[in-house]
Amino acid sequence: MYALFKKEISNFLSSLIGIMVIVVFLLITGLFLWVFKSDFNLLSYGYANLDGLFVLAPWVFLFLVPAVTMRSFAEENRTGTIEMLLTKPLSDWQIIMAKFLASVALVLLALIPTAVYYFSVYRLGFPMGNLDSGGILGSYIGLFLLSASFVSIGIFCSSVTNNQILAFILSVFLCGFIYIGFEFIYSLSLFGPIDLFIQRLGMASHYGSISRGVVDTRDLLYFLSVMALFLSMTKLVLASRKW
């Protein structure tokens, strides 16, 4: 499993897409936070916080994560190497987890450089260090869990097709619906007493809760459940090849 994990990481970092994901994420967030005149601009906001980053980042990852995961199994299916991979002394779970962890590691590599934003805002605060570090840490945890959930969805979408573009489109749609779709349904107030339950089915509600600095066990369990659900569905797709 570790060898496959290293191979996947190596493929990401040696290909254009892996580097582009990191560069595009940092470029978009950097421009909106420091250059463009917008509601997210830290210098114009006049208050030391990183709220803009945690509002922007999920939308950027909504497109970048599917771009990372679209080739996970789709390319293997297209070239026929999936059959060779399944014959190796690895269980289906080991194959899935190697690809999942490699994609999550790439997302983490994109997030780590944003620590520069934190230290910049820390220095810019008046007095210096006047910012909610606990809330920012909670937001980072929420963003990481959200991104990992996107990865699990993307890997599942990649496993059901041999077309990378189709995997990308399907992944963007599913991630977008689970992230913000339930919020839209909740806003319509169509289901009366269960409206709040429907809202809690979406990622945005749980991500928003963690981003306030409150790392609730229910929110952690929600994200872990989403990951477990889609990785299990990927396992079923791989197992169906043996039937």
Quote the domain boundaries for residue 6. Answer: 2-240
Q: Which residue has the tokens 């269980």?
A: 91
Dig out the tokens for 218 from the structure: 């229910």
**Interatomic CA distance for residues 101 and 107, integer angstroms:** 10
Contact 81, 35 (CB under 8 A): no
Average pLDDT of every residue of the chain: 86
Residue 243 has pLDDT above 70, yes or no: no
Instruction: Report the range out of 63-77, 117-131, 190-204 with the highest average pLDDT.
Output: 63-77
Q: Other C-beta atoms within 10 Å of 243: how many?
A: 4
The DSSP letter of residue 73 is: T
Residues 6+ apart with CB under 8 A from 139: 50, 53, 54, 210, 211, 213
Tens-place pLDDT, residues 92-110: 899 999 999 999 999 999 9
* Residue of 66, 19, 65, 58 whose CA lies nearest to 166: 66
pTM: 0.92
Say how far apart CA 207 and CA 219 lie, in whole Å. Answer: 8
Q: How does pLDDT run across 50-76, given as a tens digit for each residue?
A: 888 899 999 999 999 999 999 888 887
Q: How confident is the model at residue 46 (pLDDT cuts 50, 70, 90)?
A: low
Confidence of residue 242 (pLDDT cuts 50, 70, 90): low
Please give the tally of structural domains in the chain.
Answer: 1
